[in-house]
Amino acid sequence: MNNILSFIYSDISLLFPILLYYFIFMYKQNINEDKKEIIFDISILLSLFLTINSLYDNNYYKFSFLVIIICICFINNKGLLSILISFISLEYTVYYLSFNAFLSFIFFSILLVLFVISIRYSISNYVMVYITSILMFLFFFIDAVNGKDFASLLFDSFFSTIIFLFNIRIITLFMIQFKSIISLHMSFKGFQESKDFKDNLFKITHEIKNPLAVIKGYLDMFDVNNKDKSERYIKVIKNEVNRSLNLLDDFKEFSKLSINKKYFSVNDLFDEISLIMKPLFIKNKVKSIFKIEDDIYMCGDYDRLKQVFINIIKNSIEASFEKEVIISVYKNNKSICACISDKGSGMDEDTLKRIKTPFFTSKENGSGLGTSICEEIINAHGGFIKYTSLLSKGTRCYININNMDDMADMAHSSMV
């Protein structure tokens, strides 16, 4: 019974560090190659140490485990480590396991030569393992012939060879699983990068449509005979062209949303938004009501916030044909609050729950990215967006952005 327990303990001692190495890297894909190499070397040396100090006192069994460790090194293309382990194993085999020195030297030399040939000529690992098992059995057989109890030694030889093949099989199965998971992970990573690219492509396409629609609206109203209007329209068109170029710059950064904060007047922001959205209000016969509290200053990304409000107001206009849209902005303690309300078609409960989900849209030609982009920008400003809606009654969009009043007042004072 004690022998069986000692055998099980020894077997686990060999397998545990190596299998633990593969198990860790099945689930830890972000560890760099240098660390992987170091941890593999440590696991091999730990297995060697545990094998040498094994409680199961059977020379053939210990010898087979030493050969397993050398095989694993070669399978993992660790040539120098396998040579080091071979020299240590040779020393241990001769001085502690009392095998014939010349026979042991010949065995380990042939083993190294075989593995070098297998690498040079790309011989299958399975073929090399079976050749090694035959070579090892011959080594045991020659030793048994010279021993006192041939029958017992022959049984130990056969048993140790079977254990060698069994343990190698377990380790190679883990290696195959490990490589399969690594491959799956890399495939998934590639898929995720492709998905991120497509998501961002949709985002940029969606957002560029807004300034282009504004530019088209002003070009439709452009009158070369009215100098004052033309100058005002050209200024708006230039601003929208610049906004489109900024969006394209963002796309070059792939999935990174950059926020460039500065202090500005919220009143100036909505004056510009009112001017930009004017053609769309006229086109859809929607009445616009702007209720902006006086002297509001904040720290934020002017262009990004303009992008948010244009997007939300545009949605309200499109849902409120021949009705009205009310835009209210006010200060509440240390927050800037905005409410865009319409009396349009509204949303049912299911649509309201999914309104912020990327690619979800109830519009015929919508991309489903506008609200998710707005959410992303407002979150980057330390704020939040909330929607309330009733079907056939209309929708309200509440936006709350954290703002440092003291700093905004200082900016206001410096502007004045």
- Give the residue from 171, 189, 207 where a domain finishes: 189
Task: Please count the structural domains in the chain.
Answer: 2
Mean pLDDT is lowest, of 125-139, 163-177, 324-338, for: 163-177
Residue 325, domain member (yes or no): yes
Residue 311, domain member (yes or no): yes
Same domain? For 261 and 140 the reply is no
Same domain? For 54 and 156 the reply is yes
Residue 316 is given by DSSP the state H
CB–CB of 368/387 below 8 Å? no
Residue 171, domain member (yes or no): yes
Structure tokens at 131: 């050749």
pLDDT tens digit sequence for 203-240:
666 667 777 777 878 777 777 677 777 777 787 888 77
Residue 194, domain member (yes or no): no
- Give the residue from 189, 217, 234 where a domain finishes: 189
Residue 224, domain member (yes or no): no
Same domain? For 279 and 162 the reply is no
Same domain? For 179 and 306 the reply is no
Cα–Cα distance list, 196 to 31, 348, 380 (Å): 23, 30, 19
Q: How confident is the model at residue 31 (pLDDT cuts 50, 70, 90)?
A: low
Same domain? For 7 and 119 the reply is yes
pLDDT tens digit sequence for 253-278:
445 567 888 999 999 999 999 988 88
What does pTM read for this prediction?
A: 0.45
pLDDT tens digit sequence for 233-255:
787 888 778 777 766 665 554 45
Same domain? For 39 and 139 the reply is yes
- Give the residue from 137, 171, 189 where a domain finishes: 189
Residue 227, domain member (yes or no): no
CA–CA dist 217, 312 (Å, integer): 18
CB–CB of 314/397 below 8 Å? no
Structure tokens at 239: 């601003």
The residue whose two tokens read 């409120």 is 320
Give the residue numbers spanning the domain of 183: 2-189
CB–CB of 264/300 below 8 Å? yes
Q: Residue by residue, what is the 3-state secondary structure of 249-293?
A: HHHHCCCCCCCCCEEEEHHHHHHHHHHHHHHHHHHCCCEEEEEEC
Residue 239, domain member (yes or no): no
More confident residue, 360 or 299: 299
Same domain? For 261 and 162 the reply is no
CA–CA dist 54, 192 (Å, integer): 47
Residue 312, domain member (yes or no): yes
Same domain? For 156 and 51 the reply is yes
Percentage of the chain modeled with pLDDT above 70: 75
pLDDT tens digit sequence for 355-392:
877 655 666 555 455 677 788 889 989 899 999 998 88
CATH number for the domain that contains residue 322: 3.30.565.10
Mean pLDDT is lowest, of 73-87, 288-302, 359-373, for: 359-373
> Could you tell me which of 277, 344, 339, 282 has the C-alpha nearest to residue 306?
277
Q: What stretch of H or E contains 101? A: helix 101-120
More confident residue, 5 or 153: 153
b/e burial code for range 14-53 (CB count within 10 A of at least 16 → b) = bbebbbebbeebbeeeeeeeeeeeebbbebbbbbbebbbe
Same domain? For 177 and 287 the reply is no
Work out the number of other CB atoms within 10 angstroms of the CB of residue 122: 6
